[in-house]
């Protein structure tokens, strides 16, 4: 029986918040409690803590800590399962993920992580064109993990094979992809046109322009779209320069977060409430539409609605 999820917005990708990084050394249950309390106060009722592409020891250490947090009675209603974003991503589409830590899809490795996580891995983002992706997708789905496509440059045939294998959605469609693409074909068109795929969108006002979000909503329809924040570990901190995984990040006064001296984004500074506010500022979506995008659809994807 599914647990009762508190009322409020649902976020399927939170990489960290207020200086807490779910992929960093030394993560504690107290850290996760701090993030959760802040997010709940700001309108995010429940979320998927996300571990990005990391060194192997980070998975060994952090997955059990995340599970321990999920077993805490006060935290359990707010934690919907772990989201692994990587490390099975493409080099060309990696974005802010570290190239040296990328790995080829590995069924045995995923099984090991599922054991560490006591089965609480809900989402896996991978690149469908990487060798071994199709077999891993089939295995992950059989183990109850929802597979999303992200940080890739896959062609239409690779995307189709991934969907046939069981992939259900696109992690932050329009992001996690090179800035320069062929007019057509390209991965955005292929994913946009595939009615089998749910599109996740970062509506923080920095990741995507209004025209793109409006087009995706029209093509996919409200039933096949989900809003996520992709909140970065430095979200909730004052603007400035920070170090993340040995890389310098810049958090700008208007909220954009990126790798220093590049045009590469590195997550957002937004909460789900911020993402909803940006949608309200220009769209004609009513409150039921927003609830569908930001609560009902993500819970439905996880089988919790």
Alpha carbon distance 274, 287 (integer Å): 15
DSSP string, 160-228: HHHHHHT--EETTTTSSS-S---SSS-HHHHHHH-TTPEEEEE-SSSSS-HHHHHHHHHHH-GGGEEEE
230 carries an active-site annotation: yes
CA distances from 2 to 50, 80, 299 (A): 21, 11, 11
8 Å CB contact between 188 and 173: yes
Which residue in the list 11, 21, 194, 230 is annotated as catalytic?
Answer: 230
Rounded to 10 deg, the angle between the 107-116 and 133-142 helix axes is 30
Enzyme catalytic residues:
230
């Amino acid at each position: 029986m599914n647990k009762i999820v508190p009322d409020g917005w649902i976020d399927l990708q939170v990489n960290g918040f207020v200086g807490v990084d779910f992929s960093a050394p030394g993560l504690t249950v107290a850290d996760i409690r701090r993030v959760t309390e802040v997010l709940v106060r700001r309108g995010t009722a429940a979320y998927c803590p996300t571990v990005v592409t990391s060194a192997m020891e980070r998975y060994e250490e952090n997955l059990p800590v995340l599970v321990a947090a999920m077993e805490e009675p006060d935290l359990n209603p707010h934690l919907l399962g772990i989201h692994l974003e990587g490390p099975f991503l493409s080099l060309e589409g990696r974005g802010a993920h570290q190239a040296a830590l990328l790995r080829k899809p590995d069924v045995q490795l995923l099984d090991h992580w599922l054991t560490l996580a006591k089965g609480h891995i809900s989402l896996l983002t991978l690149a469908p064109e990487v060798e071994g992706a199709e077999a891993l997708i089939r295995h992950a789905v059989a183990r109850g993990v929802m597979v999303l496509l992200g940080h890739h440059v896959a062609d239409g045939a690779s995307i189709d094979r991934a969907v046939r294998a069981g992939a259900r959605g696109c992690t932050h469609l329009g992001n996690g992809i090179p800035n320069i693409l062929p007019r057509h074909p390209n991965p955005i068109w292929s994913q946009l046109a595939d009615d089998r795929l749910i599109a996740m969108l970062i509506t923080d006002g920095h990741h995507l322009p209004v025209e793109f979000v409006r087009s995706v909503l029209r093509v996919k329809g409200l039933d096949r779209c989900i809003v996520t924040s992709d909140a970065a570990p430095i979200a909730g901190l004052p603007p400035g320069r920070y170090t993340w995984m040995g890389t310098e990040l810049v958090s700008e006064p208007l909220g954009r977060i990126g790798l220093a001296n590049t045009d590469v984004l590195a997550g957002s500074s937004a909460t789900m409430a911020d993402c909803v506010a940006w949608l309200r500022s220009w769209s004609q979506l009513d409150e039921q539409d927003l609830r569908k995008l930001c609560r009902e659809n993500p819970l439905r994807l996880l089988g919790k609605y």
